[in-house]
Amino acid sequence: VILQASRGARAYANDVVLAKLIDALVEIHPDIPVCMHLDHGNNEATCVTAIQYGFTSVMMDGSLKEDGKTPADYDY
């Protein structure tokens, strides 16, 4: 099972709640592999804290500037 959370979902639900949710799912269903994916982390700190809270996969999205709205100045 792959569970996915965006930066917005993490802000809404709280990392502690999500970490406990993962732990509970693993405890209840130890025979089912579970991983947690951060989708579109907007900076290194966001990705690092996701990993610290047990996310097993992160996707770094560098397409926007710090304001989270303005496209970055470079091409991909």
Question: Which DSSP string corresponds to 1-69?
Answer: -EEEEEHHHHHHH-HHHHHHHHHHHHHH-TTS--EEEEEEE-SHHHHHHHHHTT-SEEEE--SB-TTSS
What pLDDT score does 76 carry? 53
Q: What is the pLDDT of residue 52?
A: 92
Predicted model pTM: 0.73
pLDDT of amino acid 74 = 66
The set of catalytic residues is: 39
Q: What is the pLDDT of residues 47-75, one digit of tens each?
A: 899 999 889 999 887 777 777 667 667 65
pLDDT in tens, 14-48: 889 988 988 898 999 999 998 899 998 888 888 89
Query: Is 70 strand, coil or helix?
Result: coil
- Domain ranges within the chain, ordered by starting residue: 2-60
Q: Which residue has the tokens 């700190």?
A: 45
Sign of CA dihedral 5, 39, 2, 49: negative
Q: What is the pLDDT at residue 75?
A: 57
